[in-house]
Amino acid sequence: MKLDQTLRKFVDPLPIPKTLKPKYKDDQKTYYEVRMTECYQKLHRDLRPTRLWGYEGRFPGPTIEAEKNELVQIKWINELPKKHFLPIDHTLHGGEHAPEVRTVVHIHGAKTPPESDGYPEAWFSYRFQETGPTFQHEIYEYPNKQEAATLWYHDHAIGITRLNVYAGLAGFYLIHDYTEKCLNLPSGKYDIPLLIQDRSFNRDGSLFYPEQPTPATRDTPNPSVVPFFAGDFILANGKIWPYLEVEPRKYRFRLLNGSNSRNYTFTLDDEESFYQLGTDSGLLEKPVKLNQITLAPAERADIIIDFSAHAGKKIILRNSSPPVNENTELVMQFTVSLPLSDKKDHSLPKRLARKSLAIDQPVKGLRYMTLDTEQDQYGRPLFLLSNKSWSDPVSDHPRLGDAEIWSFLNVMNFPHPIHIHLVDFLVLDRRPFDVERFKETGTIFFTGPASSPFIYERGRKDTVLATPGEITRIKAVFEPYHGRYVWHCHILEHEDYDMMRPFDVLK
C-alpha cells in the first residue's frame, strides 16, 4: 500500500553530501574509486530506512570536485545485487539483456572523450562464478577542459536509467577555475549543493514506483514503462522537507532538478528575491535578480540567497509547478538562527564570466529535429526524436569544431527537456508554429513572433525545455572531441522508451 499520510515537515536537518577524497593524486592525474552498492537510509525521521542504491553507499552520492584542466580518472565499480528491486520492463531496448542490473555512469555536462561519456550501451555489471560474484568496473577519464560549472553524475544504462536514478544513483560533480575563485563568492560551508527530487513510498518506507501506467489494458505488459512519473513527496539531498540552519549572510546554492519527470518552479516566501549566478554549464556574464526560477529535469542553476535581513526568521523554499499539492509545493525550510561566524561577507560581483564563444562563431549547419509520439503494439505512447528509434541508423553528423543551430519542433502538447552530450549551447529563441499544418504537409508556418529565452536560461546550457507547439532553437559548437555521443529527452521515462538518438561528431 502506498504511503498517503502526511509526514511532519521540517524535522530533519539537510544532509550536505561529503566531498569524495581521491585514492591518490600526482602531477599527472587525480584517481578515484567509486563503488555502486545497495544501502538503507532514513529519508525522513518517521520512516523506516529505505532500500536504495548509492554511489559509495550514499544517497545522494559523494560530491566530486575538480579543477579546470585537471585530469581525473574514476574507477566506477558495480557491486549491486543480481536482481533489481524496481519493476523491469523487458519489452524495452536493453530490457532483454541479462543480467538485468546494468550500470554505466554519465557525468552530465562534462566534455569527455566518447569512451568515457557513459554511452547507454556501454553498460557493465558483474559475473557470477562458482567462487562467487566478480564485480565489474570501468575506468573513465575526465580532462575537465571547461570552465567552472555545476555538473552531476548519474546512471545512464539503456532501458533502465529511470529505475537506476530513482533507486539513488546520482551525485554532484563540481568544476572550479581561477576566475570563479577570484570573485569572492560564498564558498566552503556557505556553498551548498541542493539535489531536488521526488519520491513515493510504500507504508513500510520502501520506494514505490508504478508497475504499469494508468489506465492499463489487458495487453499492457506487466511490468511496463510509464509515460510520466510524479512522486508524492519532495526530497532535498535525500531528505523529505529538511531544514537548514543558516547565518544572516549570503549563501550560494547549486540547485539541481534530479527528478525523473517533474519540473520545479522555485520561489521563496513572500516572493523574496534571490540572484542567479549560473546556468547548467557555467557562470553567467552578470548576476540576474529573480523572484522565481523554473528547472526541468537535469537543469541546474547557481543562486545566491542573502539572509542578512532575516535573522531569527524561517523562510520556505517552495515549488509551484504542477502537479502540485500541499506536499509537493514545499521543498525545504531555511532557519536563520545561527550567529555570524565572522563579519566578513561575500560579494555579489557585477561581472562574473566572459560571454560564450559560440555567440559569434559562424554557423556551418542547420538541423531540424521533431519531437514526436505514436503508439506501440500495446497501445502505449512511444516518444521519438525525428520519428526515429534508438536502434535506427545514425542520421546526424556534425563536424568537429563546427557551430550548428538545432531546431526542436515540438508537435506534442507537453514540454520535453532536451539534453545534448559533449557540448554546451546557447538558447536562441522559441517561436510558435502551426502544428497541424506541419503534420499534414511538412511545412513550417509560424503563428507568432520569436520570443527570447527566459531570463534564467541566458547562459551556457546543456539541457533546454522544448516547449509544446513551438520551435526551440539552440546554437552549439561541437568540440573538443570527435566520436559517437547521444542526445535525448531528459524525462527519464521518455529517454528509456525511446526518445534518445546517437550522433557522430566527424573529424
Residues 311 and 390 reside in one and the same domain: no
Does the structure show a pLDDT above 70 at 190?
yes
All cell numbers assigned to 201: 513510498
If we measure between CA atoms, which residue out of 385, 305, 356, 364 comes closest to residue 146? Answer: 356
End-to-end CA distance of the chain: give it in Å, rounded.
Answer: 55
Q: What is the pLDDT of residue 128?
A: 60
* Domain stops at, among 149, 177, 205: 177
Residue 462 to residue 504: CA distance in whole angstroms? 17
Evaluate whether residue 183 is within a structural domain.
no
The pTM (predicted TM-score) of the whole model is 0.97
Residues 172 and 235 reside in one and the same domain: no
Over residues 254-311, the pLDDT tens digits come to 999 999 999 999 999 988 999 999 999 999 999 999 999 999 999 999 999 999 999 9
Does the structure show a pLDDT above 70 at 96?
no
Tell me if 336 sits within 8 A of 248, measured CB to CB.
yes
Q: What is the pLDDT of residue 382?
A: 96
Over residues 61-83, the pLDDT tens digits come to 999 999 999 999 999 999 999 89
Residues 210 and 161 reside in one and the same domain: no
Tell me if 256 sits within 8 A of 300, measured CB to CB.
yes
Residues 288 and 415 reside in one and the same domain: no
Evaluate whether residue 346 is within a structural domain.
no
Does the structure show a pLDDT above 70 at 133?
no
Residue 76 to residue 71: CA distance in whole angstroms? 16
Evaluate whether residue 205 is within a structural domain.
yes
Residues 382 and 489 reside in one and the same domain: yes
Does the structure show a pLDDT above 90 at 358?
no
Q: What is the pLDDT of residue 19?
A: 98
Residue 109 to residue 402: CA distance in whole angstroms? 19
> How many domains does the chain fold into?
3
Q: Domain range for residue 88?
A: 24-177
Residues 264 and 301 reside in one and the same domain: yes
Residues 314 and 445 reside in one and the same domain: no
Evaluate whether residue 9 is within a structural domain.
no
* Domain stops at, among 177, 207, 231: 177
Residues 363 and 233 reside in one and the same domain: no
Does the structure show a pLDDT above 90 at 99?
no
Evaluate whether residue 239 is within a structural domain.
yes
Does the structure show a pLDDT above 80 at 450?
yes
Residues 28 and 172 reside in one and the same domain: yes
Q: What angle do CA 108, 420, 265 make, to 5 degrees?
A: 70
According to DSSP, residue 190 is labeled G
Residues 319 and 222 reside in one and the same domain: yes
Q: What is the pLDDT of residue 129?
A: 59
In this structure, what CATH number is given to the domain that contains residue 84?
Answer: 2.60.40.420
What is the rounded average pLDDT of the residues 423-452? 97
Handedness of CA 383, 169, 284, 333 (dihedral sign): positive
* Domain stops at, among 177, 203, 235: 177
Residue 239 pairs in a beta bridge with 236
- Give the position of cell 507504508: 203
If we measure between CA atoms, which residue out of 230, 304, 297 comes closest to residue 462? Answer: 297
Residues 323 and 230 reside in one and the same domain: yes
Residues 172 and 195 reside in one and the same domain: no
Q: Residue 359 in 3-state DSSP? A: helix
